[in-house]
Structure 1
Amino acid sequence: MGDYDVLAILFINEKGLLHYGGTESPILKYLIKNMGFLFFAQLCAYLIPILEIPVLARALGVQEYGKVVLIQSVALLSSLVVEYGFSLSGSRQIAITRADKAELSRIFGEVVSAKLVIVLFLLTCGAAFLVLTNSLTFDTSMMLWGFLYFLAFGFSPFWFFQGLEEISVVVVLEVLLRFISLLFLYLFVLGAKDAGLALFILAGFGLLNTLIGNVMCMKKVGSVRLSLRGALHQLKIGFHVFVYKSSNNILLSAGPSLVGATSGHIAVAAYVPAEKIIRGFVGFVNPILIGLFPYLNRQYLSSKENTIKLSWMIVSGMFVVGIIVAGSIFFLGDFLIQAVLGPGFAVASNILKIFVWIIPFRLANQALGLCMLIPMGKDKVTSGFMMFFSIVSIFFAVLLSIWFGVNGVVLGFVATEICLFVSLAVVVIDVTIKSKGGMTL
């Protein structure tokens, strides 16, 4: 196949359909629709928790609100462990076998079994921690609602519908229930005595969403059988994706703690606004990559050479967009910081002008992982690089902070992201060359 073949992937005719392999299909509209719903879900995921803050804080007061937020935080963190990376490893399997109902049933049953194994492990560890430490940190009267909140997010079947590329109904359902939950909080949580009720409302609507979603899955797959062997199989094949996802956020999320430890709390106040600008932009680009992920997994099986070319276009496009955005923020940084935070945060502007250059490399790195390496089956290599460079980023940040303070921490993160980009690009180029030479991936 020549260069004209990849142009066929991107050619849109007058009906708005995407040509692929000489046939017409509404792939472009389908992908744009999924990305649109993912953007909508991402926006609501940012907006609704922000709206919950004044509703709960004013009604509950500092002490009771603190209890609710603590239980929420632990529940969400634990649910991320239960999710384990199935949003990638599970959805990839679903995307490849979505026409085979028996396979869909097997995969769904195995993933649910794996989540149950993780829940059992976490409960054992949690119980041991409470017994050994006799901890009074948590309000035991609200722990049940916190546990239900944890189950609601941990057993979300979004990964299944993501693999099928049928996310519209589940996104609308989730957003609708979360807004109803917010309305209930506003109407019924009126004082400090209602802290347990607040958690009950949050957990109840979240659990209702998860139950409805899983019932929809059962209708899709028919009978489901739990399997310990299947659970261990899913944990094994999803391990490197789990490491990849866990490591992916360390390069940015470790920043405030490192800045506080090396430069003090005043430096943190200057660092965090710049970090949030970077994190916010990178986060809103994720729906594009997540929307493309199931499609590219299927295409690597049927048309590897064309899909590699298309994926390189996506990586290049992400990098170019990142450069444009970074340059724009660099020149507008002084105005943005002063307009939003005031003249007392001039240091944040200096930090932002360094930090913005992480954007193009982070976007390209995410594209290399989600659009190329993981669909190619290079989970182990990708997760290894992510973990290694996450550790290196902390080392660089601490080392450079000795000479450059908070700017050194930022320089360390940017330098590490560039090194990660070079390493991942070298692996992809090597795999691409071998693929063209007729070798298997």
Structure 2
Amino acid sequence: MKFKLTTDHKTVAKNYIYVAILQGLNFILPLLIIPLLEQRIGLEKFGLVMYAQYIMSFCIVITDFGFNITATREIAVLRENKKDYSDFFSSIIWFRMLLLTVMFLLLLVVVFSFDRFREDWLVYLLSYGVVAGQAIFPVWFFQGIEKMQIITIVNVLAKVIFTLCIFFFVTETADYYFVPAFNSLGFLVAGIVSFILALKFTNFKMIIVPKFMFFVRDSFSVTLSNITSISGLISNGLILGYFYGDSIVGVYSIFEKLITASKSVFMPIYQVLYPYISRKSDAVIFKEIKKLAPIIAIVGLILSLTLFIFGEWILLTFFKNNLIEVYIKWFKLMTLVAFTSSLTMLYATLYAPARKLFKRRLQVLSLGAVISIIGSSIFVPKYGIQAAAMIFLISELFMVLLASYLFVYLDKIIFKKD
């Protein structure tokens, strides 16, 4: 059968290839770098570095302010209407720089106010370069103008820099400070290069236009949902670290990162389709997601089964620490998240943002966060990593159930005539 691809379809297909390459790298590199780090700096120092990364994840969400969702859609619409987006671009960059400064000051206060952080203050401050790099990197802009090849090339450059530095310079436990330093270096290089490349498509001005503050207000619900989501995600790791030390955090973060890496299978689809589908009507968006959901569910189920069957072999082959073997059964429990999160992401990352259902997105992510934070606070101090694994799974199950209800029942009634 012969068919002719439209310009939009060709753009989506090309962008998918670029993002798939990047996400493939995101999947493979953790399998190479994490075992190497665990062997060279030890599980305790690896756990410390991961503990700092949990905190940086929260800082990234604040400085992002939901723009990777709301700004992407706005840029896509401006591009479709052939309007200039230099004012909008400049306003976002300056607003992020303001947030970046505020968060750094808050980080200084937290780090030097608590003994738990003060002892390793340099690790936390070196890790903040990741936040700065992410703030500078206009992923939302390149995604909105559908130039995903730039994101891929720059990210690959950053990851190669980080990987080579780790391989050659981190050789013993005392080198653990280099890990956050090199990680920050990679993100900063990516941020600066990408910002320079963005100037080929737009102009940068020394202003924040007044009307931009209305956009900030509209983005607040997305920011709030992202904050609640990341709070729920990192609560297990932070509470584990506080009560059980960095070694246990290291074990849990290895399990979590392997599960999270599996999500990279779906991100190319969501990232590429988002600017394309956000230009469609609500009815068309509903139909497209309805067609896509069974495929995502099948792939997610295959991923879960693969991790359940081969995950133990992967962990015991690449990691030689006895603690990992002790808790391996709890990793198997966590593998179901690869399936549930695929559908939750479909709703929260693609469908709800494309239809500007930001309050619904907040409801879904907040439910998971509340369950995770309350559950972690009550059970993790007493039951440790076992409780963390259970809460990780339960919060994801409740999110996918709520997302399914909102989509299958509420929206089905709205669009039943179509």
Report the TM-score, using the length of structure 2 for normalisation.
Answer: 0.76
Matched, 1:375 2:363: no
Kindly indicate whether residue 149 of structure 2 is the aligned counterpart of residue 168 of structure 1.
yes
Alignment-derived partner of residue 37 in structure 1 = 18
Q: Distance in 2 between matches of 1:196 and 1:256?
A: 20
Q: 1:173-201, CA deviations, whole angstroms, 9 ceiling, x for partnerless residues?
A: 34235535766788899999999999998
Distance 1:412-1:192 versus aligned 2 partners, 3 A rule: closer
- SS of 2:207's partner is coil
How far the C-alpha of 1:427 sits from its partner, in A, is 2.0
Of 392, 395, 414, the match for 1:434: 414
Name 1:293's counterpart in structure 2: 274
Q: Does 1:14 align with 2:16?
A: no
Task: Give the partner amino acid of 2:343.
Answer: A
Q: Rate the CA distance shift 1:76–1:362 in 2: closer, same or farther, 3 A.
A: closer
The answer on whether the counterparts of 1:114 and 1:232 sit within 8 Å (CA) in structure 2 is: no
My pick for the range that moved more, 368-377 or 111-120, is 111-120
Which stretch of the first structure deviates more once superposed, 224-233 or 198-207?
A: 198-207
Larger radius of gyration: 1
Counterparts of 2:52 and 2:385, CA distance in 1: 32
The question of 1:358 aligning with 2:346 is answered: no
Task: Name structure 2 gaps, 5 residues minimum.
Answer: none
Paired residue for 1:114? 95
Does residue 241 of structure 1 match 2:222? Answer: yes
User: In structure 2, do the counterparts of structure 1 residues 261 and 191 end up closer, same or farther at CA, with 3 Å as the change threshold?
Assistant: closer
Q: TM-score scaled by structure 1?
A: 0.72
- Is contact 1:71-1:146 (8 Å) kept? yes
Matched AA of 1:379: F
Q: Which runs of 5+ in 1 are unaligned?
A: 1-12, 19-24
Mapping for residues 333-352 of structure 1, pairs under 5 Å: 333=311, 335-341=313-319, 347-352=326-331
SS of the equivalent of 2:147 reads: coil
Q: Sort the Cα spacing of 1:413 and 1:223 in 2 relative to 1 into closer, same or farther, 3 A.
A: closer
The one-character-per-residue Cα deviations of 1:189-238 (angstroms, maximum 9, x if unpaired) are 99999999999987677545434433333332346462263453333222
Alignment RMSD? 4.9
Kept after mapping to 2: 8 A contact 1:398/1:409: no
Whether the 8 Å contact between 2:88 and 2:212 is mirrored in structure 1 is no
Question: Quick one: distance in 2 between partners of 1:305 and 1:110?
Answer: 32
**Structure 2: distance between partners of 1:67 and 1:264:** 9
The aligned residue for residue 293 of structure 2 is 315
Higher RCO by CA contacts (8 Å cutoff, separation 6 or greater):
2
The one-letter amino acid paired with 2:195 is N
| Equivalent residue, structure 1, for 2:302 | 324
Alpha carbons 1:109, 1:226 under 8 Å: kept: yes
Q: What are the equivalent positions in structure 2 for 1:267-286 lying under 5 Å apart?
A: 271-286=252-267
Q: Residues 187, 113 of structure 1: CA spacing in aligned structure 2 closer, same or farther, 3 A cutoff?
A: same
Task: Give the Cα–Cα distance (whole angstroms) in 2 for the partners of residues 263 and 196 of structure 1.
Answer: 22
Select which of 381, 393, 396 maps to 1:414.
Answer: 393
CA contact 1:114–1:231 (8 Å) conserved in 2: no
Which of these residues, 92, 96, 99, is aligned with residue 80 of structure 2?
A: 99
Quick one: structure 1 residues 125 and 40, their matched pair in 2 at CA, closer, same or farther if it must change by over 3 Å?
Answer: same
Cα separation, 2, equivalents of 1:415 and 1:289? 24
Separation of aligned partners in 2, 1:404 and 1:189: 34
Aligned partners of 1:131 and 1:170: how far apart in 2? 36
**Change in 2 beyond 3 A, CA 1:394/1:96:** same
